[in-house]
Chains A and B, each alone.
Chain A
């Protein structure tokens, strides 16, 4: 076992929640408002529901191979060479790419809103150094850190919501369903993909949970909490700033934080609020990078994983700069990325489960016959 860490179900819930919020909190409200306008909140709810609906798929797949991560049981299902190949491809195309994207998110946010003259590579490198430290320490320390940070995250978030609520204008969500359900669903599907389909990567973590029977429940609550945060932020953005402004802003959550003004005294605290997304992006990025590194090591059947962290880190930095030549590129990629996420996060696990079921039947038969043989020949 590369990493002998054990995590509790509560830690799993927390990390899933933080992961969901992750980098989505920065850009999702804008996207939803662009397509669903004032019904963005309905979209958000629908997406959360859909995200939860696919949970059973992951649980079923995870339970088929207890004690093994996705990278490992991929080989069991597809055979050694195909399994390794698909596993490496999956890791590169999904967690590793998402890690690059998350890193780029925080870098872009910093250079757009806070420190425009700083070269983006500097931010990436410094952020990644902390991520690498976390990954090298192992899963348990990461989870424990998440556990410690989580209450603060909740506190900051709740304060954020409370402070901004006096500025709510309820008429901003009227008229409801003006365009009918079509735009709402339309906006919802890509939102479901990003971030909810990304939950598939948690299949790499299942074996570490100390109570495997409660994994499903942990995931469920994690998605609910994370989804709730995203829903609330989207709702707040539309309620306070209106759908048009929300759609136009690239980082509506930050603009929302700028508006906080209580009693002429509690103002200009958006920097403090930005700490929220620092936490969430950090944990999302750390988890994704951890998964990428561990998965890579498992696919190649290596006995150690820590030495991979720095070289892969260099590649990640290059990738994170490469991944988007400018901000407009991602606007166009939104739907295509969502489809990609659905393919790797939904279709692939479903396929794997199907193949596993077919094979399982055959294997079960063979196991049953050998078990019955043993029974009839006891050793004494």
Chain B
């Protein structure tokens, strides 16, 4: 609970740190990308802090290559 709030506080601090520079130079696309990434990052962090089971992309990679890998190990034996 508190860690999630701390995370939001950190995100707000980052916002305050980086956004003004972008706003001043009127880099709107950059600003939007920044908001998107910061939001994603904060949401993911809070999810992790609340012990939500996030999917692991490596499992997908493992699943995709497993047949090939199994063939390879059998060839080696």
Q: Do chains A and B touch in the complex (CB under 8 A)?
A: yes
Q: 20 A–B contact pairs at CB < 8 A?
A: A93-B61, A97-B57, A186-B76, A300-B29, A303-B30, A304-B30, A308-B33, A308-B37, A310-B18, A311-B14, A311-B34, A311-B41, A312-B41, A314-B42, A321-B48, A322-B57, A323-B57, A333-B61, A339-B65, A340-B61
Q: How far is the CA of A310 from the CA of B37 in the complex (A)?
A: 9
Which B residues are closer than 8 A to A by beta carbons? Answer: 11, 14, 17-18, 21-22, 25, 27, 29-30, 33-34, 37-38, 40-42, 44-45, 48, 54, 56-58, 61-62, 64-66, 68-69, 72-73, 76
A-chain residues with CB within 8 Å of residue B37 when the two chains form the complex: 308, 311-312, 315
The answer to whether A308 and B34 touch across the interface, beta carbons within 8 angstroms, is yes
Tell me how many residue pairs across A and B have CB atoms closer than 8 Å: 94
Which A residues are closer than 8 A to B by beta carbons? Answer: 93, 97, 182-183, 186, 189, 300, 302-304, 307-308, 310-315, 317-319, 321-325, 329, 332-333, 335-337, 339-340
Which DSSP category, helix, strand, loop or mixed, fits chain A's interface?
Answer: helix
Which of B11, B21, B34, B69 neighbours the largest number of chain A CB atoms within 10 Å of its CB? Answer: B69
Which of A308, A317, A318, A333 neighbours the largest number of chain B CB atoms within 10 Å of its CB? Answer: A318
Which of A93, A303, A311, A339 neighbours the largest number of chain B CB atoms within 10 Å of its CB? Answer: A311
Q: Which residue of B lies closest to A189 (CB)?
A: B72
B-chain residues with CB within 8 Å of residue A319 when the two chains form the complex: 57
A334 CB to closest chain B CB, in angstroms? 9
Q: Which 7 A-B pairs have the closest CB atoms?
A: A314-B41, A311-B37, A336-B65, A186-B76, A335-B69, A311-B38, A339-B65
B65 CB to closest chain A CB, in angstroms? 4
Q: Which residue of B lies closest to A313 (CB)?
A: B41
Which DSSP category, helix, strand, loop or mixed, fits chain B's interface?
Answer: helix
Tell whether A302 pairs with B33 under 8 Å between CB atoms, given A307-B18, A325-B56: yes
B-chain residues with CB within 8 Å of residue A322 when the two chains form the complex: 48, 54, 56-57
Q: How far is the CA of A335 from the CA of B65 in the complex (A)?
A: 9
B47 CB to closest chain A CB, in angstroms? 8
Q: Which residue of A lies closest to B47 (CB)?
A: A318
The answer to whether B62 and A332 touch across the interface, beta carbons within 8 angstroms, is yes
B57 CB to closest chain A CB, in angstroms? 7
B-chain residues with CB within 8 Å of residue A315 when the two chains form the complex: 37, 40-41, 44
Q: How far is the CA of A312 from the CA of B44 in the complex (A)?
A: 11
Q: How far is the CA of A189 from the CA of B66 in the complex (A)?
A: 16
The answer to whether B58 and A333 touch across the interface, beta carbons within 8 angstroms, is yes
